[in-house]
Structure 1
Amino acid sequence: MRNMRISVRRLVEFVLRSGSIDNRMASSNRALEGTKIHQLLQKSAGDEYQAEVSLKLERVVDNIAFLLEGRADGIIKGEIIDEIKTTETPMEEITEDFRPLHWAQLICYGFILAETAKLDKVTLQLTYYQVVDEEIKQFQRVMTRSEMALFVDDLLSKYAVWAKMSAAWEMKRNKTIQELSFPYKSYRRGQRELAIAVYRTAMSGESLFCEAPTGIGKTMSTLFPAMKAMGTGKIDKIFYFTAKTITRQVAEDALIEMRRKGLAARSVTITAKDKICFLDERKCEPDHCQFARGYYDRLNEALFDMLQSEEAITRPVVETYARKHTLCPFELSLDVALFCDAIICDYNYLFDPVIYLKRFFAEGPGKYTFLVDEVHNLVDRARSMFSATLRKSLIMQVKRGLDKKLNKRLLNAINAMNREMISLNKKLTELGKTVYVNKEKLVDWNEAILKFTFVAKEWLPQNNQSESQADVLELYFESLRYVAIAECYDERYVTQVTRSHGDLEIKQLCLDPAFLLSEKLKLGDSSVLFSATLRPIDYYTNVLGGEKDTSRMIFSSPFKQNNMHLLVADFISTKYQMRENSLESVVDALFALISGKKGNYLFFFPSFLYLQNVYELFREKYPEVQVQKQETSMDEERREHFLEMFQADNEETLVGFCVLGGVFSEGVDLRGDRLVGAAIVGVGLAQLNYESDLIKDYYNKSIGRGFDYAYQIPGMNKVLQAVGRVIRGEADRGVVLLIEERFSAERYRALFPAHWNHAKTVKNIHEISHEVSEFWQNS
């Protein structure tokens, strides 16, 4: 007999869902708009109301032992089961048969209660709370245990086809995993040790932070052992999270290599909705989009078709089946993920409190292993994901577009938000400031936003022809994010009110994302957070949710140290106040770097303005050198063209001027003679700014390392990433020049990785030329 664990919600939605996708009906999850209301109703129900009751039942149907589980909102006197639903629908439209899925969920809970408590019958109570008018409507049904048993068994029998298919696949998968050997003939230096550490982490249900330099093969070193752990039954799914499309491709390639060795495992790559949408204008409404209209009526047939034929469900595969069955490709990728073993996607599908994969993570922890790649990127991304902003200009834009007679309710909600903003603006004027910081959340402002989301959710489906709909929808989603972040708000936050260029901005700024990240990581059984540069590793462990006893590992570079000639030009200062005076010295040093060998080079700068100043002088002094520069905004086609210029057989020297921390300083793989050298101008510090200063003040108070955490370490990581572009393979050789006097200071030298301990200090332009020439002659 096969075992299958399934939640009541997933069972009901999978078997009974129908109709269309409609983002006008989209909402925050229950935790955002419903939790407080649920708690209020539960508390007001009296002592006989038992709230948030976990329910479990094993039920055998079609030779499958289903473990059916869920959480009832309330049980009254042990025999009435209550399900609370919040809604924006006007009360007069809420009838007993308003949402059949709500009753289906309640019947399942009622049956579990009847079975476990040996009750002949149960009273089912469906409670609707209308959030705009704050009204309650209740419906009751009495059902016998046998009536509910028939209903539940019918649901389970319909799901059994999918359960049997999943169980058969799992047996096949595990057999191939157990027989799977490492895909390559041998391990690289450090690769076996990393793979063993990842396997132990997955099997023990722990966390690991790991610095694995370029060349070790960290993608295979993490995916292969995680897959082996899956074969033991320890984990159900592997999630591979990354910040960049190119890294997702590397993960797909690693799985292909394992399949060549006999692995049977389904994987899906989730592409962002805006990128994969088939429409020129993304509008997820049945009246506008044929791929949204009737989506759930066609979904299961498409899933069955796809799962019978595909293992590597990449973006092109998703698009093929989406077109074949006329389905939204983004939603199809999410739905097929339920049946996949490995899910490759962006960070936000776990960590973002609005965008996260609710079908996996909304109902609590699962038997998942999280592999978080290029995790140094997660620090800034986490602060961004856990922060939220609303601007007065957007609110006024919505207000101006609405007909005052036809949209009174919505206008009242918008006016309430505007009044709060006027009040905050007055406070700025009284203080004589353009920025005001409040440590506590702005309660009245937050309540006004919440009220708007309720009214807007009711308004949107009823006004799909309105010219204002797009603006209202934008404000609605921005407001949902703001409300979501308000739920996370604690002592690690500040609210920043800023007046700038005639606009007013209110931002909930996350200063320290560690706690929120750690809570997200607990949704899995184990996690491995890794990057080529994770230095100092204690910093990343602290800011990314690790604990004091969390495992940490640092591997040395697998490449020969002498393949990279590292020079430190500490006779030049690039501090902001010194830049104009040192401009010519910087230009001459850069030319000295490229004088030893014709080839392709990258120069990195801390800002576009500084880049432009050096670029102009360099072209003026050395017009014979072919140059190109990164622009402030480059689409994918222009970025690809920029990189295509770096060919191994270029007859003349080519120099690319780039920004530290930009698109060309990470994830760029110019192997061999496609790149022979790089220069980093400055230590990567961001310009002093208000938000970074708030972060600095926070860490000064909490651990006494404000400047390190807000400026120095993030800046130095950009330097490490940029240097990492030069040596990409065992045969690569190259020169790197660090230009800035601070690179010789102990506080920066302490952040150099071990394979930089051969760095040589040069004291003038002549020494740079000499060292470079000698290196290439000896090569």
Structure 2
Amino acid sequence: MNNFLRLSVHQLVDFLLRKGDIDNRVFNRSSMSEGSRLHGIYQAKQKRNYLAEVRLATHAHIDGTDILLEGRADGIIHRGGGQYVVDEIKTTVEDLKVFREQNLSWHLGQAKCYAYMFAEANGLDFIDVKLTYIRQGKEKEQLIDSYTFDYLTLEKDIHHLLNDFLELYQIIVQKNKLRDATIKKLTFPYKKYRAGQRELSKYAYAITKKGGRLFVEAPTGIGKTISTLFPFIKAINDDHESKIFYLTAKNSGKEAAHKALKLMKKHGLKINIIIITAKDKICFSKGKACNPDECPFAHKYYDKIQDVLRYALLNYDDFGYKTITQIANDYQICPFEFSLDLSLFMDVIICDYNYLFDPISYMRRYFDGNTSMHLALIDEAHNLVDRSRSMYSASLTYSSFLSARKSIRHSKLRKLKLAMNKMRKMFGEYLETEDLGNHVISVFYPNTYKTISSFITTLQDVNKNDHHEMTPELLEFYLSVHRFSKMLDLFNDSYL
């Protein structure tokens, strides 16, 4: 029987080709949002022969494994006849030449995957690749790299990457075989069901097969956790792509889920489990920013992570706070990023609500694409009402702006002063029509969006290239503006 691996281009190249440091001055949620915006603007300006966001896929059979590799190219340019160009767009606040030099093998590897898939699908012997670099905040500043590849070279290179990835995946294959065998033998871990448990388990299992949502209200002590986790575990054996997310707002909820899983493991179950601990609680460098200049555990993270993951997967299958921090400390890497990367190879992920529901901190690696294969158990779901209200709310205060401006009063950085002056004018527009105090605003002045977007781009640039200017007050204000910007993007008539 062949093994099956469904793999995205990002998973492949991010794991094998990304090198260097964790640096939130360059790679962060603000720069990602701005990058998406600039992608759209750039694509909209192209000619009619430019196809944007082209979905591609290819199948490969390597060493007994059927692989589905899939992804989405930023652009395909048809130059006429059989001439095509794959366009891969990258945006950054960093100097473009520096950014390209540091990430070329990673970026080019991604583009070559798309080029290979498109050439294969269209019977092309040759195909061009273009890497388009755009400077955030200075969109006219661009850098273009152009390449030409023949199909056979692309096929050889991509299959080489797939072979390298399979070296790690074979660890997962062996663990999954053991997991599946133990799931088949697994029985309910108590001698008998309590009242209502069997019915709940049947309903939960039906959800895994038919989809949909099940809301359960039952008294404390009935055994809801084991009655839902047990059928969800049994369902993994039928779907090799699914992960179980156990979402809870409290540590007691995490402990209850972990206890239930350990009970099933005591009865013979072999399964990979991880508990995601909040970044501020697991961080080794509290109070420091996530970049190599401030945190030693960010240094060369992506150079080390492949070896760390191999070690972790070969030696452990239950990753709680103690195990994660021990391994991370031994290898001198960030424990939080390690836990997120490790989660890709887990069967059960126990974490807070926000990793699924928060529009800023949700786990994009799972929930930006096809989520239909995943299963979610939400502990005490009634708490989501208040939590979601806070997740989808944001505020800006004039007092925090004044504190930030006061903290940089001696700065001579012109772009920072200009950005703060624009924000002062924006606040001034609202102060002219509103009394001092708290206000819920449903209609925004036209320049609000532009001013906030410009401010975020400038502050990203300052954070990377003039980091000494980032006072604690300015950083706090910047983060609040970033969150407010995200809520502005989401704001619509559905808001209450």
TM-score with structure 1 setting the length: 0.60
Contact 1:428 1:435 in 2 (8 A): no
Shift of 1:95: 5.3
Give the Cα separation in 2 of the matches to 1:221 and 1:378: 21
Is 2:74 the partner of 1:73?
A: yes
Cα pair distance change 1:428/1:344, threshold 3 Å? same
- Decide which of 444, 447, 451 is 2:447's aligned counterpart: 444
Q: Which amino acid is the alignment partner of residue 197 of structure 2?
A: Q
Cα pair distance change 1:3/1:114, threshold 3 Å? same
- Decide which of 324, 327, 335 is 1:321's aligned counterpart: 327
Q: Name structure 1 gaps, 5 residues minimum.
A: 494-510, 512-779
Contact 1:52 1:71 in 2 (8 A): yes
Shift of 1:98: 5.7
Please show how residues 604-615 of structure 1 align to structure 2 within 5 Å. none
Shift of 1:270: 0.4
Give the Cα separation in 2 of the matches to 1:96 and 1:328: 24
- Decide which of 479, 482, 496 is 2:481's aligned counterpart: 479
Contact 2:18 2:103 in 1 (8 A): no
- Decide which of 133, 137, 150 is 2:138's aligned counterpart: 133
Is 2:415 the partner of 1:393?
A: no
The answer for the alignment partner of 1:34 in structure 2 is 35
Contact 1:24 1:473 in 2 (8 A): no
Give the Cα separation in 2 of the matches to 1:156 and 1:289: 33
Contact 1:198 1:226 in 2 (8 A): yes
Give a deviation string over 1:616-674, Cα, whole Å, max 9, x none.
xxxxxxxxxxxxxxxxxxxxxxxxxxxxxxxxxxxxxxxxxxxxxxxxxxxxxxxxxxx
Contact 1:28 1:484 in 2 (8 A): no
Secondary structure at the residue paired with 1:340? Answer: coil
Is 2:267 the partner of 1:261?
A: yes
Give the Cα separation in 1 of the matches to 2:479 and 2:174: 41
Is 2:228 the partner of 1:225?
A: no
Q: Which amino acid is the alignment partner of residue 427 of structure 2?
A: M
Secondary structure at the residue paired with 1:183? Answer: coil
Is 2:355 the partner of 1:349?
A: yes
The answer for the alignment partner of 1:144 in structure 2 is 150
Name whichever of 190-199 and 141-150 sits farther off. Answer: 141-150
Shift of 1:445: 1.7
- Decide which of 70, 79, 103 is 2:108's aligned counterpart: 103
Give the Cα separation in 2 of the matches to 1:235 and 1:109: 23
Secondary structure at the residue paired with 1:236? Answer: coil
Give the Cα separation in 2 of the matches to 1:491 and 1:238: 33
The answer for the alignment partner of 2:25 in structure 1 is 24
The answer for the alignment partner of 2:49 in structure 1 is 48
Give the Cα separation in 1 of the matches to 2:97 and 2:441: 42
- Decide which of 118, 122, 125 is 2:127's aligned counterpart: 122
Give a deviation string over 1:494-517, Cα, whole Å, max 9, x none.
xxxxxxxxxxxxxxxxx2xxxxxx
Shift of 1:447: 2.0
Name whichever of 64-73 and 244-253 sits farther off. Answer: 64-73
Cα pair distance change 1:143/1:235, threshold 3 Å? closer
Name whichever of 43-52 and 402-411 sits farther off. Answer: 402-411
Secondary structure at the residue paired with 1:34? Answer: helix
Is 2:458 the partner of 1:455?
A: yes
The answer for the alignment partner of 1:176 in structure 2 is 182
Give the Cα separation in 2 of the matches to 1:76 and 1:46: 9
Cα pair distance change 1:419/1:375, threshold 3 Å? same
Give a deviation string over 1:544-566, Cα, whole Å, max 9, x none.
xxxxxxxxxxxxxxxxxxxxxxx
- Decide which of 195, 205, 216 is 1:210's aligned counterpart: 216
Give a deviation string over 1:710-755, Cα, whole Å, max 9, x none.
xxxxxxxxxxxxxxxxxxxxxxxxxxxxxxxxxxxxxxxxxxxxxx
Q: Which amino acid is the alignment partner of residue 399 of structure 2?
A: S
Name whichever of 435-444 and 409-418 sits farther off. Answer: 435-444
The answer for the alignment partner of 1:584 in structure 2 is none
Give the Cα separation in 2 of the matches to 1:156 and 1:406: 51
Contact 1:75 1:82 in 2 (8 A): yes
Contact 1:460 1:469 in 2 (8 A): no
Is 2:237 the partner of 1:244?
A: no
Give the Cα separation in 2 of the matches to 1:202 and 1:467: 52
Shift of 1:86: 2.3
Contact 2:407 2:474 in 1 (8 A): no
Q: Report the number of matched residues.
A: 490
Give the Cα separation in 1 of the matches to 2:100 and 2:306: 29
The answer for the alignment partner of 1:602 in structure 2 is none
The answer for the alignment partner of 2:61 in structure 1 is 60
Contact 2:325 2:335 in 1 (8 A): yes
Give the Cα separation in 2 of the matches to 1:324 and 1:358: 28
Give the Cα separation in 2 of the matches to 1:61 and 1:410: 53
Contact 1:241 1:371 in 2 (8 A): yes
The answer for the alignment partner of 1:508 in structure 2 is none
Give the Cα separation in 2 of the matches to 1:441 and 1:229: 48
Contact 2:171 2:313 in 1 (8 A): no
Secondary structure at the residue paired with 2:57? Answer: strand
Q: Give aligned-pair identity as a percent.
A: 36
Contact 1:27 1:480 in 2 (8 A): no
Give the Cα separation in 1 of the matches to 2:395 and 2:213: 32
Give the Cα separation in 1 of the matches to 2:469 and 2:118: 49
Shift of 1:130: 2.2
Shift of 1:472: 3.5
Cα pair distance change 1:196/1:216, threshold 3 Å? same
Q: Which amino acid is the alignment partner of residue 266 of structure 1?
A: N
Shift of 1:92: 6.5
Contact 1:235 1:369 in 2 (8 A): no
Give the Cα separation in 2 of the matches to 1:310 and 1:237: 18
TM-score with structure 2 setting the length: 0.93
Give the Cα separation in 2 of the matches to 1:461 and 1:57: 38
Shift of 1:243: 0.4
Give a deviation string over 1:417-452, Cα, whole Å, max 9, x none.
1210111011114xxx74544323454223212112
Q: Which amino acid is the alignment partner of residue 137 of structure 1?
A: L
Q: Which amino acid is the alignment partner of residue 409 of structure 1?
A: K
Q: Name structure 2 gaps, 5 residues minimum.
A: none
Shift of 1:191: 0.9
Contact 1:27 1:457 in 2 (8 A): no
The answer for the alignment partner of 2:278 in structure 1 is 272
Select the structure of larger CA radius of gyration. 1
- Decide which of 195, 200, 214 is 1:194's aligned counterpart: 200
Give the Cα separation in 2 of the matches to 1:112 and 1:491: 41
Contact 2:137 2:457 in 1 (8 A): yes
Cα pair distance change 1:72/1:89, threshold 3 Å? same
